[in-house]
Amino acid sequence: MKYSVFSLLRNAFQANRNWKPAWRDMSPRTDHVYDVVIVGGGGHGLSTAHYLAKVHGITNVAVIEKGYVGSGNVGRNTTIIRSNYLLPGNTPFYEWSLKLWEGLEQDINFNAMVSQRGVLNLYHSDAQRDAYARRGNAMRMNGVDSVLLDAAQVRAMVPYLDFDNARFPIRGGLLQPRGGTVRHDAVAWGYARAADSRGVDICQHCEVTGIRIEAGRVLGVETTKGFVRARKVALAAAGNSSRVAAMAGLRLPIETHVLQAFVSEAIKPLVDTVITFGAGHFYISQSDKGGLVFGGDLDGYNSYAQRGSLPLVEHVMEEGMGLMPMLGRLRVVRSWGGVMDMSMDGSPIIDKTPVEGLYLNCGWCYGGFKATPASGWCFAHTIARDEAHALNAAMRLDRFATGHLIDEKGAGPTPNLH
């Protein structure tokens, strides 16, 4: 069923009794050879399935997810989209992602609540202003929108910040007006529904337990529901990438770390953009339900637990108070953690692997949500054509051996600092 105002009205008049599930609940077909099996039914796996089907006409595809669709990082992030990157290997990719976000809802016929409310990165010193000016110029050279604001302009936009903070006074900001937020769960659901409508099998509660390889070529995946044959296998397992890749004998330049996020009780509209605190690492926006959604840094140690520890909670709250003292009057109602595939240079990998027919998508650090459309789009291209698209040509698995790193932050091989 195509969703529209008419389908809404028609179903409303039928007391909403006739809505159908948005996608078929499938088990992988074990008597069948899939063209592509995607391991991981998160945002990236599902968008890959959608673009494989839509752009490349490859619909004989299964997405295999160990939990339920949206139970991983696509349902655990702070929903921010932006393309304010500095380096040539990154900027065109993220800008393509933002362009795909702009047309996403029409493309997949699903209301993902894409809201281009702007992303404002604050600067607090002359040196930081210069760095942001450089970043803004790099963005403009790549056709990305960016505006450098002084303190008065920022004050006019968001007057409730602590501008005259003694340690971290706000001197201005770099604004990307086309950035914003998206309803994250709807992205997973929308891509799942769009892929399913073209014939992709979405298989939930089915865990991949092994990858069968013969003579250097992938044959399929072992799962808790039997062996599934496939001509190509594509890994999009986020924080569990190292574990899944190990099934194919690969060791990755990845560490898994926990990132926490928080939401406050709902209040009336206050934060109508996305604000990031430049003196630390803190970002905040307001959901349509009214809760302030915010987060900060990684806990800093390797973790596969989807929860963090209290010192980091305190640290994030302190940063929030440094930016916006009124936050102290609010109660935090929920916090949660997601496990991040932190790469050794802070940038992702979308590439073929040394195993024929095995493809890898990982290393999203904690920037994976905004990349969801372009990641799937480029991964689908890489799988279908057996070669990288120009947009992900730099995101190679072997760049660590050849020295072609994409290190936005210049932090070196320290995954807990990216």
Partner 1 sequence: MRIPCPHCGERPVDEFTTIGTADPVRPEASSDMKDWVDYVYIRNNPAGTHREWFHHVGGCRAWLVVTRDTRTHAILGARTAEEARKP
State the residues that interact with partner 1 by CB under 8 A.
240, 242-243, 251-256, 300-305, 309, 311, 344, 400-401, 413-416
Q: Which is nearer to partner 1, 140 or 307 (CB)?
A: 307
Which candidate, 246, 212, 183, 203, places its Cα nearest to that of 49? 203
Q: Which is nearer to partner 1, 107 or 341 (CB)?
A: 341
Query: Minimum distance between the CB of residue 328 and partner 1, rounded to whole angstroms?
Result: 21
Q: Which is nearer to partner 1, 287 or 309 (CB)?
A: 309
Query: Minimum distance between the CB of residue 242 and partner 1, rounded to whole angstroms?
Result: 4
Query: Minimum distance between the CB of residue 292 and partner 1, rounded to whole angstroms?
Result: 24
Query: Minimum distance between the CB of residue 316 and partner 1, rounded to whole angstroms?
Result: 13
202/26 Cα distance (integer angstroms): 6
The maximal CA–CA distance of the chain, rounded, in angstroms, is 68
341/239 Cα distance (integer angstroms): 4
Q: Which is nearer to partner 1, 256 or 264 (CB)?
A: 256
Q: Which is nearer to partner 1, 158 or 261 (CB)?
A: 261
* Long-range Cβ contact pairs of 214-218 (< 8 A, separation 24 or more): 216/354, 216/355, 216/356, 217/355, 217/356, 217/357, 218/248, 218/355, 218/356, 218/357, 218/358
In contact, 292 and 327? CB cutoff 8 Å? yes
Query: Minimum distance between the CB of residue 415 and partner 1, rounded to whole angstroms?
Result: 7
Q: Which is nearer to partner 1, 280 or 413 (CB)?
A: 413
Query: Minimum distance between the CB of residue 140 and partner 1, rounded to whole angstroms?
Result: 33
76/369 Cα distance (integer angstroms): 9
In contact, 282 and 323? CB cutoff 8 Å? yes
Which candidate, 282, 306, 294, places its Cα nearest to that of 333? 294
